Chain A
Amino acid sequence: MSNTALAESDLDPSLRETVESAVVRFAGDSGDGMQLTGGQFTLATAFAGNDLATFPDFPAEIRAPAGTTFGVSSFQINFGSRVIKTAGDAFDMLVAMNPAALKVELGGLKPGGIVIADTGSFGERDLRKAGYAANPLEDGSLEGYHVIALDISKLTLEALKDTGLSKQEALRCKNFWTLGFVYWLYDRERKPTADWLNAKFKARPELAAANAAAMDAGHTVAETMELPDGIHAFHVDRAEIAPGTYRTVTGSEALAWGLAAGTHLAGIKMVFASYPITPASQLLHSLSKMIDHNVVTFQAEDEIAAACAAIGASFGGSLGVTSSSGPGIALKTEAIGLAISTELPMVIVNSQRAGPSTGMPTKTEQSDLYQAVLGRNADSPLCVLAARSPSDCFEAAIEAVRIALKYMTPVFLLTDGYIGNAAEPWSVPDINDYAKIPVAFRTDPEGFHPFLRDTETLARAWAVPGTPGLEHRLGGIERDYDSGNISYDPANHQKMTDTRFAKIAGIARDIPPQGVEDGNASGKLAVVGWGSTYGPISRAVSNLRTQGLDVSHIHLRHIWPFPANLGELLRGFDRVLVPEMNHGQLVNVLRAEYLVPAEGLNKVSGQPFKIAEIEDAIRARLEN
């Protein structure tokens, strides 16, 4: 739809308070549909022409006991008329569908922020389950906030009393009642959500109608009620967005499309083999639907089988791709060594999560960098890339496919639970703008042996079964450099090990030199990030540069090998600060590689960095 086709607001914008950006957090029970509510608010906000970033934050339990604090599921969105780079630090509005949600989330609300609470869910039992001795809506503990307390449960039932739905069914619509209410406060259109409901409940139109009716009722109540003192309806101007076709995209969607775009550009089939694990499974789901785009998916019996099937597929002339999260990647490790040894292309996606062991499956962390770069037996180098944002997963995935095929090597692509689930608007690219990825299967038997190498890239010849005259045997046993036959010769093992290193190191010549995201190419302080810390670092650096501080932001996509100029670039700064959601991993690799006095800023709470945390750390470095 066209921008101009969007209906104008039903309230005179002059009566609304115009804000540059706002952060809203929807919080409720796991069964309250908060992720869905957030997703619809995201869609409506994208249609309103704002820039945005989201942060779905939910427990690992599918339906944790109702009303408990550990069962709270939240969705945060930051949107505005300026460029939005993170899901926001403190929020302006908290929607609390029950006492547990209020208890868990209140600490993140700005002083003076707005609380919308469903009093219908604040009964004595609900309060007790959340650990409240008294009702916080009544005992004055919310002083300093603006509270809109409504019996949303009752209002929803009233709105739906003629629909014939059972009480239980009708109550399940209260998230859409709330959504309608918040839509009015922020001046969002309801139509995209109404359309979505009609599509979603095609088979049960009565549910589509009931949810739409609940949304309309909430909207009407907001429009007609007298808002408590100090609360206004808001207006957020359109962001200045470059012309183009846009959609919202989550990291896992962009990753699925990026991988498929890679094999599309290479003109070969992708065999995606995976085993379900949180938060990586979404990628399997997305790719499973892409069967018409030369993608075959295989849900293997375990992580090891998934990795081995991917290697088998690559031997057969497809690109084998496997995906998991840290604990599953650990299981694939031996197989990855086989792909390194047999020098076959492979992409391994790691949607990192908080660990060690099972850790916190739905919470985000960047603690698998060591695992990707170093975590294998023996000298076993491969290439490691990291995506920085949901939409960047598309570009990073194409790059991973390119390097895997060109260098006949496994490539790790690191993303995380935050990037995978978060959404942002995306200017949809044109696939014809991307360079083709050349793949040349060996067919000439003249002088062939399986470890014949390209003199420039050192990539092994890719001869696939089915090709007459090129029959050969591969395996994890060391190979003779000149014939590809089994060899235990000492000098040969040295040469092969050196060659495997040189091949991966040579990728550094084939990637762009490291640039500076923001700021000067030398100076007092460089903040070096990788992966999903991109948003908060870039906002923090740009805020402080506006205040005149000498700080630059460098963000790495290529984690191994590093871009050739990185050491020189870092040496141009007095200090280097490396914020990471781990206990210090990239920082140590940088120190080891370049002997630079890089310092870590480390956070492992399962929550993304706040902009303020990074700003404080930068200030502290510049003041000392």
Chain B
Amino acid sequence: MNVVTPPETLTAKDFATDQEVRWCPGCGDYAILKAVQKTLADIGARPENTVFVSGIGCAARFPYYVKTYGFHTIHGRAPAFATGLKLANPDLDVWVISGDGDALSIGGNHLFHLLRRNVNVQFLLFNNEIYGLTKGQYSPTSRQGTRSPSTPWGSLDNPASATVFALGAGARFVARGVDSNQKHLPDILARAHAHIGTSFVEIFQNCKVYNDGVFETFTARDLASDRQIYVEHGKPLIFGKDGEKGLRLNPRTLSLEVVTLGENGVTEADVLVHDETNRMIATLLAHMEPPALPVALGVLYCAPGPCYDDEVTDLVRAHTPAEKPDFNRLLRSGRTWTVD
């Protein structure tokens, strides 16, 4: 047998396959791929022990471009596949790659149950608020009024918030990033990887062809500092070009409001301190929308709890007899009789 010994230290490049990447030029997916490959190198991932699983859509081509094990499943079902894979081998390091249609429309049910069970995988939702691969129809995260080939007069239905959904489904790790932000994204992905249980990461991803600039309202260079807040555990929720703005909890309305430090006697002490273990704070942050409030990025919530694959492993271990079980004894359990 000829076993290939991987080099001790792998670089981002070592996680690239020889397959030509087939996303549109300028697609946000390129940046995410780069961030993921960098993260894999940073965390010392072993290719043979890592599996990328996806559903259907532009994002779902991701596994072909990562030099680990990979599986491109069917539309919306990657969470179910990943759960079965973890039941077969709980030691595998599994990343699920999905999009807003795949995760929240056709696969909404599976994502809900993945989060509820808290299966130990990283779930990355590339949210571009549009269907790309089917040529531009509106998606469950598209804002009301989105004009698309299937909604020529603007979409009517209310969009879903991926992070609010995840928190509602019982997720114990919820984070947000932006495709183009190569400073923060690898950090968020590394945190997601370190968390045991389902780590849910929404990544705002620009679709150059069908929904270009949809996140410009908070990602444009001149707006970002006022319309984004990168939250960090234990630090006050401060943002703005000069760090002059903060989020304060209004105890009467149980909602967050923007305050300006130094105005009306507001000091840093009035600003809410981020506690990533607090589900209520995470929920308030997930609900924030511009322009009234900034978009929260970073780790919104991290509160580890029991995960399904560990519990299954423990149950199996508890029931595994010391000696190899006798199959014949199983067949003869209960009432039997002998004919001579």
Contact = CB atoms under 8 A, between A and B. Distances in A.
A309 B80 contact: yes
B1 A444 contact: yes
Given A335-B77, A432-B328, A468-B6, A3 B1 contact: no
Given A257-B331, A464-B89, A485-B19, A471 B339 contact: no
A215 to B, nearest CB: 17
B47 interface: yes
Contacts of A47: 337
Contacts of A473: 17, 52, 63-64, 69-72
B269 interface: no
A500 to B, nearest CB: 17
A253 to B, nearest CB: 9
A338 B53 CA distance: 14
A322 B33 CA distance: 34
A164 interface: no
A308 interface: yes
B85 A316 contact: yes
A338 B73 contact: yes
A573 B223 CA distance: 84
Interface stretch (A287-295, A400-408, A590-598): A287-295
Contacts, number: 218
Contacts of B3: 443, 445, 468-469
Contacts of B71: 312, 315, 342, 473-475
Contacts of A248: 335
Given A257-B331, A428-B331, A443-B1, A309 B337 contact: no
Interface string A271-290: 10100000000000000001
Contacts of B336: 245-247, 428
Given A243-B339, A465-B89, A476 B1 contact: no
Contact of A465 (B5, B49, B113, B335): B49
A473 B68 CA distance: 8
A116 interface: no
B183 interface: no
A117 interface: no
B89 A243 contact: no
B74 A466 contact: no
Given A244-B338, A468-B48, A320 B325 contact: no
B332 interface: yes
B51 interface: yes
Given A192-B335, A293-B327, A338 B84 contact: no
Category for how many chain B residues contact A? 35 or more
A465 B339 contact: no
Nearest to A242: B339
B334 to A, nearest CB: 6
B48 A466 contact: yes
B265 interface: no
B301 to A, nearest CB: 23
A359 to B, nearest CB: 24
Contact of B87 (A46, A298, A465): A298
A92 to B, nearest CB: 25
Contacts of A94: none
A439 B328 CA distance: 22
A264 B67 CA distance: 33
A179 B333 CA distance: 25
**Residue of B70, B85, B89 most packed against chain A (CB within 10 A):** B85
B80 A312 contact: yes
Interface in B1-54: 1-6, 17, 19, 47-53
8 contacts: A273-B84, A296-B316, A305-B83, A338-B74, A428-B336, A430-B328, A465-B85, A471-B68
Given A196-B335, A291-B319, A318-B88, 14 more contacts: A192-B335, A245-B337, A247-B336, A309-B87, A312-B53, A316-B92, A320-B88, A428-B331, A428-B332, A431-B327, A444-B1, A444-B2, A465-B50, A466-B91
Closest 4 A/B residue pairs (Cβ):
A475-B72, A316-B88, A312-B84, A309-B84
